[in-house]
Homo-oligomer: A and B are copies of this chain.
Amino acid sequence: MANEVIKIALLGAGTIGGSVIKFLRENHEIISKRAEADIQIKNILVLPQEIEKLHAQGLPATENYEEILNDPEIKIVVELMGGINPAKDFALQAMAHGKNVVTANKDVVAQFGSELFEAAEKNHVDYLFEASVGGAIPIIMPLKRSLTANKITEILGIVNGTTNYMLTKMSEDGADYETVLKEAQAKGYAERNPAADVEGKDAARKIAILASIAFNSRVKFEDVSIEGITKITPDDICHAEKLGYVVKLLAIGKESELGIDVRVHPVLLNKNHPLASVNGVLNAIFVRGVPIDEAMFYGPGAGAPTASAVISDIIEITRGILTNSSGRFGCTCYEQKKICPVEETVSAYYLRLLVADKPGVLGQIATTFGNTGVSVKSVMQAAVELENHAEIVVVTHKVKHKNILQAQDALEKLSVVDKILSNIRVE
């Protein structure tokens, strides 16, 4: 067994923290060999009421962060508290005390990445965050280390398990949004307040992190154009199916001439796309680049498996300490690229319209698309229950978002158009 001992502290002992504790124990032998060190948990920061529970399990625990900060034996602080405060300050304080930091905290990385990487560099320590995106999926290190030869042009992610589970269920069962949300909440896949997930904010934080690495330029949460899945209906999923698509909430980063195009929204995704068969709570990140062409990384996006990413970061830092190469890889945002305004981004679109069922309607609609510079690829008419009405499903060629907004405005003014029921990008 390894001679060297590396002592660490955990901040938080919830789902991921508990899993880290469990697997550092269960896989102790293989981890020790791979790390070439015996990794020991020296202390765990928890709420006062949790201390006794941890002690009962033979685990160290404290409610006082100073105890960890001032313990010179602790080389790695593993922040698994979540939220901005006090997680961010705790990470900065740890680094100021010469300690390496591992985090699973997407909020902190997405919002304060620059500041944290700066602190890591200044203090010659590592700040690793593999678990912050895609849960257990190795994606941060592969992007930073294995795809370095590539000019990455596109990164597409299914990075929110809650919404992917919901869309999968809507697709399989034909159930509506509200029904599926309740089911997801009952199963613990969605939180009681599901806003961060279903409105796309969680995915937006993750794509901000991924895009920053892929394009070597800092992308912040505020840069992401966001739309959630709350308006998706079983009808849309059904029409998509007929057209050869599945509906997915994608986090998208692309590099265009106008800057980094970064957004989160539902899309109609071609059934043959590798991401199309990623179902349920699973996550996957698809990367397009030159010369790799395409690559995809797939796995569990949340929960206990995330310990895989956290512990691997701990091992990586341990190897750095033992070989005197801490801080070997820091911030990789060498560039300062513009963000492409969402109006200028380019997509194909799927629009579903409720129209009057009478002759000439299709002609008026087609003319309106033409007048606003939108080229139509296919039109499908569907019967509806509402008397004297019909549904028209239009798929456009690639156009700028601003053109679609113009087309939508003009369509809404037509007397034959009752309502624009859906407007979803096609990827």
**In the bound complex, what is the Cα–Cα distance between A309 and B31 (angstroms)?**
26
Q: Which residues of B contact A277 (CB under 8 A)?
A: 274, 277
Residue of B nearest to A289 (CB): B308
Contact of A290 among B26, B35, B130, B324 (CB under 8 A): B26
Cα–Cα, bound, A31→B329 (Å): 15
The residues in A between 330 and 375 inclusive whose CB is less than 8 angstroms from any CB of B are 332, 334
Interface residues on A, range: 35 or more
Bound-state Cα–Cα, A213 to B70, Å = 38
Interface readout for A272-316 with B: 1 if CB under 8 Å, 0 if not? 001001100000100001111111111110001101111110111
What residues of B have a CB within 8 angstroms of the CB of A30 in the complex?
151, 216
A74 within 8 Å of B (CB atoms): no
Q: Is A323 interfacial (CB-CB < 8 Å)?
A: yes
Q: Is the CB of B150 within 8 A of A308?
A: yes
Given contacts A30-B216, A274-B298, A295-B136, contact A149 B323 (CB under 8 A): no
Distance in angstroms between the alpha carbons of A22 and B296 in the assembled complex: 24
Within 8 Å of chain B (Cβ to Cβ): is A145?
yes
Q: Is the CB of A329 within 8 A of B319?
A: yes
**Are A315 and B148 neighbours in the complex by a CB distance under 8 Å?**
yes
- What's the least CB distance linking A244 to chain B, in Å? 15
* A4 to B: closest C-beta gap in Å: 15
In the complex, residue of chain B having the shortest beta-carbon distance to the beta carbon of A304: B291
Task: Give min CB distance, A322 to chain B, whole Å.
Answer: 9
The reply to whether the CB of A34 lies closer than 8 angstroms to some CB of chain B is yes
Nearest 3 interchain pairs by C-beta = A149-B311, A138-B146, A325-B325
Other 12 A-B pairs with CB < 8 A, given A294-B300, A297-B297: A26-B290, A30-B151, A34-B216, A130-B146, A136-B295, A141-B146, A142-B146, A145-B145, A150-B308, A294-B299, A325-B325, A325-B328
| Chain A residues in the interface with B (C-beta under 8 A) | 19, 22-23, 26-27, 30-31, 33-35, 130, 136-138, 141-142, 145-151, 216, 274, 277-278, 284, 289-300, 304-305, 307-312, 314-316, 319, 323-325, 328-329, 332, 334
